[in-house]
Amino acid sequence: MEKFVYLFRNSTAGNQNNSPEAMQAHMQKWMQWMEKLGKEGIMTGGEPLMTTGKQVNGKKKVVTDGPFAEAKEVIGGYLIVNAKDINHAVEISKGCPIFEMDGKIEVRPVQKM
């Protein structure tokens, strides 16, 4: 098995028009999906990310505050998963509830060190 990271991308507009009940139901789907991946030994880690942060840039190491206004989407979290290959990792990702909210998942292989 190889390791892959899922980077969850959402629109910065978010789902602000959803009711608290709809958002709770959606979060429950996330929890069920991740619990299933954990029980199957696929998910090895992951966390949601805060919407704030800092960015360090270039040779002069200029620091700017986030979130970054020029972005139309934000990375909301990540998971690390085990899969046979990238195609298998992509197939596993298709069960994620993010797609119900028109989100995206970037699937990236983790480089062995």
**Can you give the residue ranges of every domain in the chain?**
2-109
As a CATH number, domain 2-109 is 3.30.70.1060
Instruction: Give the predicted TM-score (pTM) of the model.
Output: 0.85
Residue 85 DSSP code? S
What is the four-CA torsion angle of 60, 65, 66, 68, rounded to 10 degrees? Answer: -60
Give, for 93, the enclosing helix (H) or strand (E). helix 86-93
Q: Tens-digit pLDDT profile for the chain (113 aa)?
A: 999 999 998 875 555 667 899 989 999 999 999 999 999 999 999 999 887 888 888 999 999 887 665 566 788 899 999 999 999 999 999 999 999 988 999 999 999 98
CA-CA distance, 42 to 50, in Å (whole number)? 24
Cα–Cα distance between 87 and 93 in angstroms, integer?
Answer: 10
